[in-house]
Amino acid sequence: MQFITFLGFTLLVALISYIKSRKTDENTSDGYFLGGRSLTGVVIAGSLLLTNLSTEQIVGLNGSAFKEGILVMAWETLAAIAMVITAVFLLPRYLKGGITTVPQFLELRYDKVTKTITSALFLSGYVIVLLPIVLYSGALALSSMFNIPELLGVSKTTALWITVWGIGIVGSIYAIFGGLKAVAVSDTINAVGLLIGGLLIPFFGLLAIGNGSLGEGITTLMQSNPEKFKSLGGSDSSIPLGTIFTGMMLVQLFYWGTNQAIIQRALGAKNLKEGQKGLLLASFIKILGPLIVVLPGIIAYHMFGDTITNADEAYPMLVTKVLPTALVGFFAAVLFGAILSSFNSALNSSVTLFGIDIYKSHFNRDASEKKVVKVGKIFGVFLALLSMFIAPLIANAPNGLFGYLQEVNGCYSIPILTIIVVGYLTKYVPAIAAKVAIISGVVLYSISQFILKPFVVGPDNYPHFLHVMAILFVLNVLIMLVIGKLYPRKEAFKLQYTKQVDITPYKHLNVVGIIICLIVLGIYIYFA
């Protein structure tokens, strides 16, 4: 019964995605990579949210909440502010220039070499880290939920390979052959399912704690575990209070405002108004994110306490305990959708970056749009196969690999954010400054985290990596400004309006943005 429910919901999503996207002309760059620039606010919001939510976040963040409580909500709630900033300042710039990828903006602002370097950095992060990790963590979750080894009569390793390839093939079909519109539509449907399924877990959990009363469950949980409801972290926590004002906001702004896999949804907007509405709607829903990725972890702590030694087991154990058997198949389908979304979004973005920024720019400048799309799809198949071969091997890696790889991502996130911010705020800083900032950012962060921290200073006496990011961000900005002062551009940069979409802003943008920021502030004050 569980499997039938799972299969039914998954096929329904696929059917609706096909019907909604079949009329899109995917032989053009705009059609394939940006959904024909036809995405509405609701679709953009749904796709943004589900691209962000995946198994490693749902399971991992709840595991962190199990250990540390509500303070880990910073990863969710502060994202809302970053999305507001993106909607107000960055998106109008992107859509005015009619760009398909973020590196394209950098080509307009600096030069082609800067664009290529940035595209290569994005691709390396997706190929080496994101795609295999999403496949591995997703396969691990589904294999456990359906007990695939026992079901098929195979070993855990074999079951992992089968599940990885199953997810990979389905995700590849969406991303490679469906284009952005198919991805975005499927994301939207799955986002609704994820919100419903994700909220059911704390709902049934609180009912269990309160002996059938939701209000009693909330009261009991907060009174029994007051230490878990403190939003401000101490110096020994994973998110010390000071980091909220330093590297945390920079990481959030990079992720929501410059990360190709994320911002590509907004770049596909039919106009600026719909793009901004999508970002604002997503930011509002993101404020509610802790109900799905934080609260269940605290509920699990109340129920299981010290009986759980591995915090990452908290969420799966809670689901098994509180969710009615009839809903397990539906929840697994929703979780499958979240896995697919993260995988196919990263894959679609990788195809976009390669086709537009590398192939057409350096290998075949005269290539037709149809040819660019075709080559992009071939590259996508190669990436998908590569990630499906790599993913199961992660099981053999040493403990802590995922955390290590996430830290590695800091090598390119801050340098890219630096050159975009400076490029946005200045007119005379030259291309050479961007190249120097990228190189210095990658080198200095690598030395800081992988030489000074473990071998020279020691991890116990070293600043938090979010503080390090903030320090290097300021340093790289200063480097770029100094170079701009000494060797300025001959002419001031002026972004030309391509008129591909209407850039009239959403009339309630500022009011809604301020309200969202005040809500976030209010949450922090309430749980301080």
- Any domain includes 471: no
Q: Which residue has the tokens 């079901």?
A: 151
Residue range 133-138: mean pLDDT, rounded: 80
- Any domain includes 226: yes
- Any domain includes 480: no
Dihedral of alpha carbons 471, 472, 473, 475, sign: positive
Using pLDDT thresholds of 50, 70 and 90, give the confidence band for residue 26.
very low
Domains held by the chain: number: 1
pLDDT of residue 179: 52
Over 80: is that where the pLDDT of 333 sits? no
Phi then psi for 316, rounded to 5 degrees? -55, -40
- Any domain includes 71: yes
- Please provide the average confidence, as pLDDT, over all residues in the chain: 83
Planar angle of CA 264, 266, 271, nearest 5 degrees: 130
Over 60: is that where the pLDDT of 371 sits? yes
End-to-end Cα distance, the chain: 45
- Any domain includes 435: no
The secondary structure of 405-424 as a DSSP string is HHHHTHHHHHHHHHHHHHHH
Residue range 8-32: mean pLDDT, rounded: 56
- Whether 290 and 76 have beta carbons less than 8 Å apart is answered as yes
Token duo for residue 439: 């190189």
Return the bridge partners of 240, or none: 233
Ranked by mean pLDDT, the top range of 69-73, 306-310, 372-376 is 69-73
CATH of the domain at 83: 1.20.1730.10
Question: How many CB atoms lie under 10 A from the CB of residue 279?
Answer: 33
By C-alpha distance, which of 199, 233, 205, 198 is closest to 220?
205
Residue range 42-69: mean pLDDT, rounded: 81
Four-point Cα dihedral 360, 20, 260, 97, nearest 10 = 70
Residue range 417-424: mean pLDDT, rounded: 94
Using pLDDT thresholds of 50, 70 and 90, give the confidence band for residue 37.
low
How far is C-alpha 183 from the geometric centre of its chain's CA atoms?
15
- Any domain includes 429: no
Return the bridge partners of 502, or none: 271
Q: Which of 30-34, 45-49, 110-114 has the lowest mean pLDDT?
A: 30-34
pLDDT of residue 400: 45
Over 60: is that where the pLDDT of 398 sits? no
pLDDT of residue 403: 55
Token duo for residue 450: 């992988």
By C-alpha distance, which of 271, 231, 193 is closest to 12?
193
Over 90: is that where the pLDDT of 223 sits? yes
pLDDT of residue 142: 78
DSSP letter for 465, please.
H
Per-residue model confidence as pLDDT tens digits over 453-462: 888 888 878 8
- Any domain includes 406: no
pLDDT of residue 408: 74
Q: Which residue has the tokens 């397990």?
A: 328
Share of the chain above pLDDT 90, in %: 35
DSSP letter for 233, please.
B
Q: What value does the CA radius of gyration of the chain take, rounded to a whole number of Å? A: 23
- Any domain includes 30: yes
What is the residue range of 299's domain?
2-7+25-396+497-526
Residue range 427-451: mean pLDDT, rounded: 94
Share of the chain above pLDDT 70, in %: 86
